[in-house]
Amino acid sequence: MSTRYQLFIDGAYVDGTGPDSYEVRSPATGEHVGTIPIPSAADLDAAVKAANDAQAAWARVNVWERAKVCHRIGDELAKRVDELARLQTLEQGKPLAESVADIEEAAQLFHLHAEDAVRLHGETMPSTVDNKRMFTFHAPVGTWGIITPWNFPLLMLAEFVAPGLATGNSHVVKPPANTPLTVLKAMEAFVAAGLPEGLVNIVAGEGATGDALVRHPGIDAIGFIGSSATGAKIQAAAGLKRSIMECSGNGPLVVLADADLDAAAAAAVYGAHLCSGQVCCATERVIVHADAHDGFVEAVLRAAEKVVLGDPFDAATNLGPLNNEGVAAKMDRHMADARDRGGKILTGGGRRSGTPTDLYYEFTVVDDVPVDSLLSREESFGPVVPIITGANDDELLRIANDDKLGLQGAVFTQNMGAAFRFVEEMKVGQVVVNDSTCFWDINMPFGGAGGRGTGWGRIGGKHTLLDMSDLRTGVFSL
């Protein structure tokens, strides 16, 4: 039975004033599991006003007190891990173990950023004028409009809201239309932690809600995680508002001739089945040195045998369904294009029949992928390992950089000099040496490279606090 949810505005769950709603369908079971009100313009105005009013008071609260509240939110989320993880798996489709890890990490982020905030220091600098003294400090930006994706619904809210609260900001969040339930349920933890009313507001809805949020004159800054196409639309609408934009990746995993092939294969398979490959830093392209090709393919097929597609609530499952028909249809197009262009599908390649929904996609390995194919040129966002072969290191690097996206990449090699070359010359925000493109640490700065279509700003550690703060300068005349 579908549960009717409410909006969360000014510290309380409230019915929307608009007439419309929509249903959230579980990709795992096919059931309608939540009825979501679509917020009216009046609802959005109320959420923004609550955030503006609360932020003015919150900015005057000292950082140690703000940190205490963040710690309490982390504690309250930790108490609810099992409940929130089960709800997330129901609406998102990922294996339950992955959902547990997501919620635990979301809780950890509030503790991390509480500690970061109390150590966010300014500096003094000498003036060229004798009677002047200058110093800097960090001030909150104001009210942030946050738009998050459906692959990690609560975790990616925490990536913005935890540092935002710690630095004195308020938030109006539009969670993803496909996966809003966990976010709305999690607000119970924020209330239990004693978060002042109005600092976090949730206006679940669809694209029109996000557009209205971005354009709202009461929103000072935008935080977005999602596709590059949507990011471009948001930036065009936001104008000169401050923003953090983490957009699509097409992560290259490069395997040099001297690589540990079993380790590289395990990393490639992990990066393709985590969250069913629906991750911005998934294994989107594996670019292999010709001398390592045959051994790598054999190792990938061995590793792929350990991937179990099935019921995400079953402990034996490590690959759940895709979240929605849009991403499944994209996988279908990419597989058809790969076949037409001569790619060799070694395992998988389509949807599994006889499952509760048609979103269960077989784990797929494709060899001899042409560099101009959709598998190479676009972010597939599904459980696929596309293998491209290069003749030498120069060609591997050229193929890795021959793409408009530049989020996170990886390189496998035992040669330190080669590793440094790829770290320095791959046009991505982060390069992971001898591990998956999906490696993530909550304390690392994560984001796109300049000159690519992957956004700007950094998620992770003190860097998000810096991006969510204004650097102010005081100048005194003595």
Catalytic residues: 246, 280
From CA 29, how far away is CA 312, in angstroms rounded?
10
Cα first-last separation, the chain: 70
Closest CA to 440 of 180, 248, 159: 159
- The H or E element spanning position 474 is strand 469-477
- The maximal CA–CA distance of the chain, rounded, in angstroms, is 80
Residue pair 39/18 in contact by the 8 Å Cβ criterion:
yes
Q: Which residues pair with 139 in a beta bridge?
A: 470
Residue 15 backbone dihedrals phi, psi, to 5 degrees: -70, 145
Residue pair 162/154 in contact by the 8 Å Cβ criterion:
no
User: Coil, strand or helix: which one is 412?
Assistant: strand
Residue pair 223/369 in contact by the 8 Å Cβ criterion:
no
Which DSSP string do the residues of 265-307 spell out, in sequence order? HHHHHHHHHGGGG-STTS--EEEEEGGGHHHHHHHHHHHHTT-
Cβ partners under 8 Å of residue 420, min gap 6: none
Q: Give CB contacts under 8 A, 24+ apart, made by 118-121.
A: 118/63, 118/64, 118/67, 119/462, 120/63, 120/167, 120/462, 120/465, 120/466, 120/469
| Overall size of the chain counted in residues | 478
Residue 4, class by beta-carbon neighbours within 10 Å (0-12 exposed, 13-18 middle, 19+ buried)?
A: exposed
Q: Reading across the β-sheet that carries 384-390, which strands appear in turn?
A: 344-347, 364-367, 384-390, 285-289, 252-255, 408-412, 430-433
From CA 422, how far away is CA 432, in angstroms rounded?
10
Pairing label, strands 455-456, 242-246: antiparallel
Residue 350 CA, distance from chain mean position: 26
